[in-house]
Amino acid sequence: MEQKPVPRHIAIIMDGNGRWAKKRGLPRTAGHAAGAETFRRIANYCRTLGVEYLTVYAFSTENWKRSEEEVGAIMKLLGNYLKEALRDMEKNHVRFRFFGDLTRLSPKLQQLCAEAENKSAVFGDVQVNFCLNYGGRDELVKASQAFARDVAGGKYTPEDLTEELLASYLYSQNVPDPELIIRPSGEMRTSNFLLWQSAYSEYVFMDVLWPDFSPEDLDQAIAEYNGRNRRFGGV
């Protein structure tokens, strides 16, 4: 049988943690803890499949509206994961990048992000991009500001701006656009995720809540992606 290719880059909106917890009479934070476990399992599975880039929406620019307790719990889970990743780096060979404005994170978490990004830069089995305090619109505003500064500084004229040049100002610089974006939990919105990079991505929306998302669900999403006819505006 013909082996269908796996997408090089898969992006996931890890949605439904709160509803998963509510269904079980648990606090929302328990849903995030379960979601972090699912992330571990799915990241490992992506590596097994040969996926080169996995981008996950871990915390949006809008998520600060949640309670201090919930925000703190998500940040703690991320910190614990990064400590673990730093410890196991030589074994796992995962490269980490962070998309988002990290300056609003605690100094300790910023330090862990910087350490994970710097120390893992030599690895390349799979690259995990964590979107943290990330918003697609915010990313475009920050890229526009940086380009405007370079124009003011005489490096470019406004006419120099091309799609490629603009992309080089984004958090995702040097990362190919995701072929497949998965949103579990039944919601059918993009929620400010990878606005520029998703121009030609295939979206797969699934009914499962993120903590229940399994390797079989990922297989199903990839199968659906493989069944699509990607035309990129052509015929």
Query: Nearest residue to ligand FPP, using CB?
Result: 18
Calculate helix-pair angle for 28-49, 68-87, nearest 10 degrees.
30
**What is the helix, strand, coil percentage profile of the chain, to 5?**
50, 15, 35
74 or 126: whose CB is closer to ligand FPP?
74
Give Cα separations from 44 to 8, 142, 215 (angstroms): 15, 32, 10
Provide, rounded to whole angstroms, the least separation between the CB of residue 137 and ligand FPP.
17
Provide, rounded to whole angstroms, the least separation between the CB of residue 7 and ligand FPP.
20
Binding site for ligand FPP (CB under 6 A): 14-19, 32, 35-36, 39, 58, 63, 74, 77-78, 81
Name the residue with tokens 């090089």.
Answer: 8
Provide, rounded to whole angstroms, the least separation between the CB of residue 197 and ligand FPP.
19
Q: Which residues are catalytic?
A: 15, 63
What the block records as the tokens of 47 is: 């590596």
51 or 74: whose CB is closer to ligand FPP?
74
85 or 143: whose CB is closer to ligand FPP?
85
Which DSSP category does 158 fall into? G
